[in-house]
Structure 1
Amino acid sequence: MIPLAFGVVPLVVAWVLWGTLTYDDAYITLTYAKNLAAGKGFVYNGGEPYLGTTTPLLALLLGGLGALFPAIGVDGWALWVGALAWLGAIWVAFVLGERIVAGWGGVFAALVMATAPTFPHVLRAEFPLLMLLGLTGVLLAIHRRYGLAGAVFGLAFLARGDALILAGVAGLAALWRERRLPWRMVGGFLLVFIPWAIYAYLTFGSPLPATLGVKRAHRALGAWPHITFGFWTWLVHSPPALQVRFWTSVVGAGIGLVLFVRERRVWGLVILAWGVLYALGYLLLNVPFYAWYA
């Protein structure tokens, strides 16, 4: 019942946000999806092969849904796919918490996921889908379903490239537990990645999106602050309700860290390592801060 109670949050948020606008970065992906739904192909501008979306999986999913059910529209599908993915992520977080830490672990995990501060602002983007796929991959790896876990991590990578961090950490955890290389996990990942890589290389010249170079160029222009300064400026000037959600998530994550370390739960530390390495990666890449990074 607890996941269901927390799961009301994304559905209410989606209902409130119906008909509203989203943040600018999401419209890049939505444009790809709309062109795909209209039969124009996987393009941003017609006739110009350029991989400008960080989430080809979401663009393909929304494009397919938009073509099959045009009455709802790509924007509508983006909202509800995000809401359902968020709901699914809350449920998987609860199951993971229960599996990794007995007692209240599931409640804390679901609470952190349900109160994540920027979920309502990125509901039409890839973050909810990324969290659902990433956590599902970890859950499958815990149950030694390594081949399926690798395939899910491959989908997570297509949802956003930094999921490769989680796949790598999960692979190391599997190596430590089994004392041998998790070849099934590697094979499952490649089974998803290789077809996309071939298509993207032949179409765009690279399987990786061009957005990282654009963001680093933003930083080089000097008009955007460093990610650390930008984050704290954003937090200080955020509405009180968002700050409450942020600190609730921080406290919940802190409690989870204490429980994971105390119980020596390696898979809990995998999830925490994902967050730490994700943050360090952005610091090292010297990209600017955008509100949807929080």
Structure 2
Amino acid sequence: MDHSFRIARHLASRTHTGRHAKRIGVATVSLLALLFAWTYRGFSFDDAFITFRYAKNLAEGAGPVFNPGERVEGFSSSVWMLVSALLMTVVGKDALSLIAAIKVVGLLFGLLAVLGCWRLAEDLVPERPSLAGFLGALVLVTTGYFPIWAVGGLETPLFCAEIAWFAVFLVEERATGRAKPSFRPALLAIALAWTRPEGALLAALFCCHLLLDVARRRASWRTLGPALACACGVALLFGLRWAYYGELLPNTYYAKSSQARLSSAMSGFFYVFKWLTGLDAAVHRWSIPVSSAMGDIPYPPGAALFGAALLGAVRPGGRRSARLLTGGLALALICATVVEGGDWMPGFRFLVPAFPLLAALSAAALCGPLERLRPGVRLLVGISAALVIGAPWAALLQFRIDRAGTARGAELISSQYVRAGSWLKTHVPADSVLAIGEAGIVPYISEHRYIDLFGLNDKVVARMPGYWFYKKPTDYVLSRDPDYIVLAGDMAPDPGWAARFPPHLREQFMSHRRFLYPHGDALARSAAFRERYREIAAVGRPSSADNFVIFCRINEGPTTRTCRRPLL
């Protein structure tokens, strides 16, 4: 059994100086994380309210559904949905109060991930645990994208914390030789699978890892206990999903992956390439356009972090097997991102969960050269190197925070989203059926039944060809005959956009208006849509593209509804 890393770490931490230095380091890094979180406090995405709507229906007894009676799994994290449902019992169901509370919860999980990164770095560099832990946590916090998503309202910080501590327990268990197999890694592997789809991959790798050790007689047969527990926990997730939703995979998978596998993998590859290089123009042609909407990043945000982590994983010295194991976990997450096709949101959300592992490995790479320096110089040089690796200015320059804490370029929970939801709740009958693409805060506030034009919460649209934003479910939507259709687009006429239409349509109903997504253009070109629907309201700011144009069905018959005039 290898106890060297435990002995070295405990000897350093038991001294008064070591404990005092660690407290100061943890406090410093935590305060820095809080500062970054406050800077990005206005960073929120509409998708958070998709999960909130499922949680709200669950809390009200309708089950984890988007529309009562329709069993579709349009959320990506079962654990985060349950956390949101529990949070509603404390803060209520008000949209703005809920997003503020979930940001606080996310920040707490983010701090837990920072502590996990500190602990992991200590385990990887037992001869300098305090220095390694401090540098690893500092690199993680200063990456910029990690604190952004800590307050983004989604499950990313929870997943980061689980991965960090999963790696800690796995490394420490291997160091003890598994004389008494621990169930801690198995329990966290189950939590990973329940938190994100990529977590199931890590859980499968964990089980294979244990079985391989038993087959090679590196571990006793008792090791099969944690492997069996992990397999049962993951099987329970898939079993419950199949029993309730009738699918083995969440509907979000089909909505975001209904393109050719090669095309999806190419999008994922260039998503990772942009993180490594900061380049956008070179990959915009091949990657998902909306994932590159922020433009070129002034500083390569991932090259230094990935390069330092690679050096830390392969450098000679003690605990190399643990460092290679940590690097393997990080590489598995990056490969999963490639297979999934990347993500459309700014800030490299799908790659952030690998940051705690990469940061700990970066600390291992730094500690070797720093050994040759005097203590005071060592700390100064280490902090400077951590800032270069983390590159916080990449995120700061990319998002350009204003005085209100609003991040430029993000799909924020802005006034027009709230206004659109409130207008629909006030002026549209409660039993109406609506169609919309942005299925977050607007449906959450208005509380109507919705058809999701992006397909996250609709099984039929999800399986249509094309990537998530580029589906054109015109015939399907019109066959459902919704009472109202809500489209995102500019409020001001755009003559340049009107030129795209045939001449006989340019002066007709709605032909001048530019819509934000292809499904809006497809509906605008549909004769059936122009005959059956008319515009009744436009909610938003004239200078913004994130506005909502509301159309009402005008067909005659016993089911005709009275189209409300806009209250603007």
User: What TM-score, normalized by structure 1, do the two folds share?
Assistant: 0.81
Equivalent residue number for residue 164 of structure 1? 200
C-alpha displacement of 1:248? 5.2
Residue 41 of structure 1 is aligned with which of 58, 63, 76? 63
Q: Distance in 2 between matches of 1:79 and 1:218?
A: 33
Q: Is the 8 A contact 1:169 1:270 kept in 2?
A: no
CA contact (8 A) 1:66 1:74 kept: yes
- CA 1:49–1:230 in 2, change beyond 3 Å: closer, same or farther? same
Who wins on radius of gyration, i.e. which is larger? 2
TM-fit CA distance, 1:117 = 4.0
Give the Å deviation of 1:263: 2.8
Mean CA deviation greater in 172-181 or 144-153? 172-181
The secondary structure found in structure 2 opposite 1:11 is helix
Shift of 1:55: 0.8
Determine the structure 2 residue equivalent to 1:30. 52
Match of 1:99 in 2: 123
Distance change (3 Å), C-alpha of 1:170 and 1:274: same
Question: Is the Cα–Cα contact under 8 Å of residues 62 and 77 in structure 1 kept in the other structure?
Answer: no
**Structure 2 residue 249 is the aligned partner of structure 1 residue 249:** no
Q: What's the counterpart of residue 119 of structure 1?
A: 146
Q: Residue 223 of structure 2 corresponds to which residue in structure 1? A: 182
Q: Which moved more, 1:157-166 or 1:230-239?
A: 230-239
Report the CA distance between 1:229 and its aligned residue. 2.8
Secondary structure, counterpart of 2:183 in structure 1? helix
Tell me which residue corresponds to 1:265. 320
1:15 is the counterpart of 2:38: yes
The equivalent residue for 1:152 is: 188
SS at structure 2 position matched to 1:257 = helix
C-alpha distance after superposition, 1:128-178 (max 9, x if no partner): 111211222232332456313211210111111212333344445555352
Of 330, 335, 341, 1:287 maps to 341
Partner residue of 2:332? 277
Tell me the SS of whatever aligns to 2:258: helix
Contact 2:186 2:227 in 1 (8 A): yes
Give the partner amino acid of 1:162.
E
Q: Give 1:6's aligned residue.
A: 29
Change (3 A) 1:84 1:264: same
Query: 1:130 maps to which residue?
Result: 159
**Cα pair 1:216 1:288 within 8 Å, conserved:** no
Amino acid of the structure 2 residue aligned with 1:263: G
2:30 & 2:307 partners in 1: Cα distance?
A: 20
Cα deviation, 1:266-285, whole Å, max 9, x if unaligned, reads 233222112212222343x3
SS of residue paired to 1:150: helix
Q: CA deviation at 1:202?
A: 1.8
For residues 225 and 337 of structure 2, what CA distance do their matches in structure 1 show?
30
| 8 Å Cα contact 2:207/2:230 also seen in 1 | no
Query: Which one has the bigger helix percentage?
Result: 1
* Distance across 1 between alignment mates of 2:266 and 2:233: 36
Is 1:201 the counterpart of 2:230 in the alignment? no
Hey, what does 1:55 align to over in structure 2? Answer: 77
Find the residue that maps to 2:38 and give its secondary structure. Answer: helix
Report the Cα distance in structure 2 between the residues aligned to 1:224 and 1:251, rounded to whole angstroms. Answer: 23
Distance 2:199 2:136 in 1: 19
SS in structure 1 of the partner of residue 197 of structure 2: coil
CA deviation map 1:87-130 (0-9, x unaligned): 11111111111112221432343233223342244332222111
Match for 1:85: what amino acid? F
Which deviates further from its counterpart, 189-198 or 152-161?
189-198
- Give me the whole-angstrom Cα distance separating, in 2, the residues matched to 1:211 and 1:38: 23
Residue 83 of structure 1 deviates from its aligned partner by: 1.0
Query: 3-state SS of the aligned residue for 1:178?
Result: coil
Cα RMSD over matched residues?
Answer: 3.3
Which has the bigger relative contact order, CA under 8 A and spacing at least 6? Answer: 1
Which amino acid in the other structure matches residue 79 of structure 1? K
Q: Do the aligned partners of 2:192 and 2:202 also contact (CA within 8 Å) in 1?
A: no
Helix, strand or coil at the partner of 2:247: coil
Q: Which residue of 1 aligns with 2:108?
A: 84
Between 103-112 and 60-69, report the one with greater CA deviation.
Answer: 103-112
Amino acid at match of 2:35: V
Comparing 172-181 and 1-10, the one that deviates more: 172-181
Contact 2:36 2:148 in 1 (8 A): no
CA shift in 2, pair 1:12/1:207, >3 Å: farther
For the 8 Å contact 2:55–2:81, the answer to whether it is kept is yes
8 Å contact from structure 1 (residues 52, 210) kept in 2:
yes
Q: Which letter maps to 1:269?
A: L
Q: TM-score, normalised by structure 2?
A: 0.45
Extract unaligned runs of 5+ from structure 1.
none
Structure 2: give runs of 5+ residues left out of the alignment. Answer: 1-22, 280-294, 352-568
Residues 227-275 of structure 1 show CA distances to partners (whole Å, capped at 9, x for unaligned) of: 23344457333554xx47545533542443244x543432332221122
For residues 212 and 250 of structure 1, do their structure 2 counterparts lie closer, same or farther at Cα, with a shift above 3 Å needed?
Answer: same
Question: Aligned equivalents of 1:90 and 1:97: distance in 2?
Answer: 11
Q: Which amino acid is 2:125 matched to? A: V
